[in-house]
Amino acid sequence: MGKKTLFLDRDGVINVRNFNGYIAHPDDFIFLNNAIEGIIKLRTFFDYVIIVTNQQGVGKGLMTLDMVNRVHEKMSNELEKNGCLLDAIFIATNLAEETPNRRKPNSAMALEAQQLFPEINFSEALMVGDTDTDILFGKNLGMKTACVSSKEIVTQKSDYVVTDLLELYYTVKNKRNE
């Protein structure tokens, strides 16, 4: 069997996405409506909650890894204040054209998570994102997928399409009760 895992993209899923740049400073990080409550409620269905985020702004020299870590510290602290601990955060800082490429849709961050938590079973996992690369990341590993809709154009079909993480919670809850 294995452990159920919720994989979450960050920008556009947990926080307001900057379509013109990057979340380069903790002050730029703003939780989306219902994100905290949604993560807390979704956590009840999953053994692990893991963030997987592409942050090539580091590779481009537009922000530092330290600043990304400070953004994640702000996010984690706010979730923890609300009673929700994240199990891990994986960051791909390389440019898209670099090899090895850890960026989604490549599987590197999920495989690293599975090394850290060998009980992860991808067939028992759900990947939540807002882009084609997020959905492909989940599909490539045999996960269920959920797309948080935004102004991003997504052509990949996901198992669920929702407006936010709280709606995803109720969707998953209803699916489990069927």
Set 11, 130, 134, 164: catalytic member = 11
Set 9, 87, 134, 164: catalytic member = 9
Q: Is 9 a catalytic residue?
A: yes
Q: Is 27 a catalytic residue?
A: no
Single out the residue of 55, 58, 49 nearest to residue 4, CA to CA.
Answer: 49
Question: What token pair was written down for 113?
Answer: 């998570």
In what helix (H) or strand (E) does residue 113 lie, and over which residues does it extend? Answer: helix 108-116
Handedness of CA 98, 102, 103, 104 (dihedral sign): positive
Rounded distance, CA 85 to CA 88, Å? 9
Which residues are catalytic, by number? 9, 11
